[in-house]
Amino acid sequence: MSRLIVCTVGTSLLSNADRPWAGWNPRRQDPLPDAADVALWLEDADAAAASAETNTLRALDVGEADRLAFLHSDTSEGRFCAERLATLYARAGVPVETKKIGKLGYGADHFSAGLKALVDITISLVRTGRERGQQPIFCATGGFKAEIAFLNLIGALLGVEVVYLHELHRELVRLPQLPLSWDAAIVARHQDFFTWIDGELR
């Protein structure tokens, strides 16, 4: 069975050491490196060291039968990293798409809305993937810590395997399934409450 691999994207491609743009720091508002230079560097880089995402996908042995969905934050550097990764895997013949998680960024004001967008996008991807006969897998290595936590919870509720790979490890960690399940009947019985909590800003 082909796999739909949903991968959250962080900025390790930019911020890790041992690359021509080493020292890049968003807190200083450093300019992004040239996209063509990064793409060229990625083609020859060791996947285990290039970024958190490539390290995880290396361990998953991603191939042309798989489909990749890179989820990135609503920031210029998040989009930049996702686009460079998408280009890398597309050139290898892997079907790939990028999805922006609206409002997910460094500001606390919209972060909750961004996490809600993450839930919506992820559920939609899983539904579409299953309709196509694909096995969904979540790569929860890159991105904000809260983003990774939410992805793990979504995986538990939807019965989707969640994998993780720390930068110091070469072996994939398959996160244990949480003892949770989704009871649609509860939502139906309390529809007014869920409509209210979904619409209110808090």
- Give 44-85 pLDDT, tens digit per residue: 999 999 999 999 999 999 999 999 999 999 999 999 999 999
- Give 90-127 pLDDT, tens digit per residue: 999 999 999 999 999 988 777 888 998 999 999 999 99
Distances (CA, A) of 110 to 39, 104, 151, 185: 31, 7, 18, 30
Sequence ranges of the domains in the chain: 3-199
Q: Rounded to whole angstroms, how far apart are CA atoms 20 and 5?
A: 29
Indicate whether 197 pLDDT > 60: no
Mean pLDDT of 23-40: 94
Q: Rounded to whole angstroms, how far apart are CA atoms 40 and 8?
A: 22
- Give 125-143 pLDDT, tens digit per residue: 999 999 999 999 999 999 9
CATH of 3-199, one of 3.40.50.970, 3.40.50.10770, 1.10.10.10, 3.40.50.300: 3.40.50.10770
Q: Rounded to whole angstroms, how far apart are CA atoms 115 and 46?
A: 32
Q: How many other β-carbons are positioned within 10 Å of the β-carbon of residue 137?
A: 19
| Residue 145 token pair | 């810590």
Mean pLDDT of 13-38: 94
| Residue 124 token pair | 């939609």
| Residue 131 token pair | 């309709």
Helix (H, G, I), strand (E, B) or coil at 98: strand
